[in-house]
A and B are shown apart, each in its own frame.
Chain A
């Protein structure tokens, strides 16, 4: 079967298809860079998120023609060059094996694109790691991953802040990132976590034994999410935190409040549980405790056990501290925290609880039935 060599190499049908695909590409390229995709991105809440988003849009911009033309030519050739029923079943196609000029072009053009992408990326990488200069002028603080919460240490604050990092807008920060547990034994000690703030476009793994600094400047006021992005155990799915970016005034107020809390003397006697408000306790429970506990029977473990019928069930197992489940012993855990097989229950300071909050929570737990 002699192949048909009289076919013109590229005919008007081919070029028409090229033009159609060019139009489709142009429309899609506009969409991914200008509108509406652009509006649908997450807020660009850190200064470096803008060049990162631009780099992403640049890459998407050039990906579009590649995708349109690859898919487009498959569809066009599949229709244009399908064997028609009237042609013999063993009809053969063009014998053309290669085309050096075409192949060179489609080697060089992607290579150039890759080089450009690499160069643009090269200039952005140092923007979110502290340079020597930035390290000197930035405010430096620590973010430490635990099972299963984020601990933040501020300069000038004696106590740590848990899960809710407050930052003043426009102030560059160097965040030293690591992972830590009180016990360093490999079987119960620290694991990997990852500090990811999607709205900042920043992520750094929290690695035991390593301290890795990142650098950023918040540029939008608001509350943004911290997500643990490295599997760390049963609590990984719920390991969420918040970054609250606020005005300098609001931040100073918050900071001062933290200092006052730290300065308050340790309660010499156990917290009084009298007059606890169960409904206030319920609000607090839903806000702070449901990350790890269910308002459900003991067996419904999330990270820690379910807390329904805590005091009413005579068969209820002892608390994680080994003591019987009584209001006073539960208040003790709320006050001092506890370490269990599934993770660490933060203490009241870590959880941002006052004495009254502890009383309210215990009152609520006394009303929690399945």
Chain B
């Protein structure tokens, strides 16, 4: 196959480095520094949102607890959900990993629009501050979905919520545009689509979703804000509006949003497996094309969140069928990943353990998702703890385990040091066991009639809730193992070298941490990245760099 020049010629020269502290660490245009900024900010909000969850579980240790007032409890779960979705998972996966890894994997010096990248990040802290400041004015209480009419009646904190999410939405839209252009236009010469790493494929589809879907959220939020502050009756039945209008517009974004939250994690899994199994990923084309299919289908399933909202029966049926359809490409990926383990030379290191945790928990969440896809079953389970269980299996089991897999995997590339492997294993096992202990029982009480978004419950659910709460405390504690590991590594972790895992994608062909210019010379790509056993498929990279794993 002849070498195809898809690279941007101007990227072949190196700019002088940034010189002042502000240019280096505050308003940096370097995608790698911006990634670290996203990781730190997202990590902080993960801790805050996690503490809210622990508070919630203290309240739910028993029925009729008075640890939190009902109003405070409602605010806690609403900010918990909003923060986890918009201030943790989406920024960590897109702004964090997308920025850190994608430009390196395509052999570029940076993203297409570095200044926009910087703006994207700097919208993030104000959005987060605005969301948490809403507690001072009565934070929203109707969950992260904020259905009207209640959200129209709620206090000023809900308007702050609208503004905060609008801001982070602008950030996500810009990042989507930026990443999509980068991936389409700036892949190194010779990197055709079928030689592109799967994390890049995942980031590309995610970028497309971020760019197109987020505007709908902005429209819904604008409507809610304008109705609350200026009285325009979008969702007001008495003057020709409809509460269900919000649900349609909100979910038209929020369903693609859950794919924004999982596709990059899929990409991380597709990278970690070949490296730690030392064989090609099984079904590369199937995984790549199924990502694109999932992206497209994700726009067509939104009303499966609304089966009890008075939809027409044909609407229920159509969305049910499309939802079941989207399970097929997802299943293909899971089976391909498992098949990728066959015949390998597996090193059971922390990144791979987190991938196994992902595969186990995400598959379970996917299966309960199929249960919920069926309208008659959903009519019973909608808005119960069964859904709370399902969403945590796919978002915590899926996205968070994927995020931790990525952190353990790319930590050496980002910092130049290794995390401690023993601590990593302890973190994984305690998190995996505690996670299942927390969320598995929720399926049961959901099926038995416990609704979500309640500060108390029928005493028949007491023992299960006690068990769940205690498991949730252990789950929270397990994160301390990671925090300790990270601090220890930053202080005096083992030096990593350019390629401690023996990976074959381009980010491992440069020193760790990467120099500000990434590549001295733009690499030329001769073949796909996952062919372990064959020589490295690159020209212009330092073939002397170790491709032998350190352990």
Interface of A toward B, CB cutoff 8 Å? 1-3, 7, 41-42, 48, 51-52, 55-56, 59-60, 63, 66-67, 70-71, 73-74, 77-78, 81-83, 87, 89-99, 102-103, 106-107, 110-111, 114, 117-118, 120-122, 124-129, 184-192, 194, 196, 198-199, 201-205, 207-210, 212, 225, 227-234, 236-238, 240, 300-302
Contacts and interface: CB of A to CB of B under 8 A. Distances in A.
A125 B150 contact: no
B459 interface: no
Interface in B515-543: 531-533
B283 A103 contact: yes
Contact of A128 (B238, B347, B379): B379
Contacts of B455: 237
B277 A186 contact: no
A194 B306 CA distance: 12
B428 to A, nearest CB: 13
A93 B308 contact: no
B324 A237 contact: no
A203 B383 contact: yes
Nearest to A52: B376
Nearest to A211: B310
Given A90-B549, A187-B152, A201-B379, A56 B371 contact: yes
A121 B343 contact: no
B343 A231 contact: no
Contacts of A232: 150
A281 to B, nearest CB: 21
Nearest to A237: B454
Pick from A73, A128, A207 the residue with the most CB of B within 10 Å: A207
Contacts of B27: none
B374 A93 contact: no
A231 B286 contact: no
B341 A81 contact: yes
Interface string B325-363: 101100110111011011111111000000010011001
B334 A70 contact: yes
A83 B363 contact: no
Contacts of B149: 186, 189-192, 208
A58 B331 CA distance: 19
Contact of B238 (A111, A184, A199): A184
A189 B531 CA distance: 64
Given A73-B341, A83-B347, A118-B321, A89 B548 contact: yes
B238 A186 contact: yes
Given A103-B332, A208-B149, A77 B371 contact: no
19 contacts: A1-B533, A59-B370, A63-B370, A70-B360, A78-B341, A83-B346, A90-B547, A92-B533, A94-B344, A95-B532, A96-B279, A107-B328, A122-B317, A203-B379, A205-B308, A210-B244, A229-B384, A232-B150, A233-B153
A196 B451 contact: yes
Interface string B146-169: 010110110000000000000000
Of B320, B380, B447, B502, which is in contact with the most chain A CB atoms at under 10 Å from its CB? B380
B320 A121 contact: yes
A34 B430 CA distance: 34
Contacts of B320: 118, 121
Nearest to A98: B283
A78 B359 contact: no
B425 interface: no
B187 interface: no
A347 to B, nearest CB: 24
Given A41-B447, A228-B451, 15 more contacts: A56-B377, A66-B363, A90-B278, A90-B547, A90-B549, A93-B346, A95-B279, A125-B317, A188-B153, A194-B308, A203-B380, A229-B382, A229-B452, A237-B457, A300-B66
Contacts of B379: 52, 128, 201-204
Contacts of A189: 149, 237-238
B345 A70 contact: no
Nearest to B326: A114
A305 to B, nearest CB: 13
Contacts of B15: none
Interface string B274-308: 00011110111110000000000000000000001
A2 B278 CA distance: 12
A110 B71 CA distance: 44
Contact of B342 (A81, A83, A122): A81
A83 B279 CA distance: 12
Given A59-B374, A71-B360, A117 B324 contact: yes
Contacts of A59: 370-371, 374, 377
B237 A107 contact: no
A154 to B, nearest CB: 23
A209 B245 CA distance: 12
A191 B284 contact: no
Contacts of B214: none
B51 interface: no
Contacts of A199: 449
B539 to A, nearest CB: 21
Contact of A98 (B285, B328, B454, B456): B285
Contacts of A129: 313
A67 B363 contact: yes
Contacts of B334: 70
Contacts of A125: 313, 316-317, 375-376
B453 A236 contact: yes
A70 B150 contact: no
Given A93-B343, A102-B339, A210-B244, A126 B310 contact: no
Contacts of A233: 141, 150, 153
A208 B458 contact: no
A236 B238 contact: no
A212 B311 CA distance: 9
Given A97-B284, A302-B70, A128 B356 contact: no
A53 B489 CA distance: 52
A22 B141 CA distance: 47
Contacts of B336: 103
A87 B278 CA distance: 13
A203 B377 CA distance: 10
A96 B282 contact: yes
A204 B309 CA distance: 7
Given A92-B279, A125-B313, A198-B448, A77 B342 contact: yes
B242 interface: yes
B277 A93 contact: yes
Contacts of B309: 205, 207
B364 interface: yes
Contact of A91 (B278, B317, B339, B363): B278
A189 B241 CA distance: 14
Nearest to B370: A59
Given A70-B359, A205-B310, A121 B374 contact: yes
Q: Which of A55, A87, A118 has most B Cβ within 10 Å?
A: A118
- CB-based closest 7 A-B pairs: A94-B343, A93-B279, A209-B237, A198-B449, A93-B344, A77-B341, A114-B324
Interface in B127-180: 141-143, 147, 149-150, 152-153
B511 interface: no
A55 B147 contact: no
A225 B449 contact: yes
B233 interface: yes
A226 to B, nearest CB: 10
Contact of B280 (A41, A82, A96, A205): A96
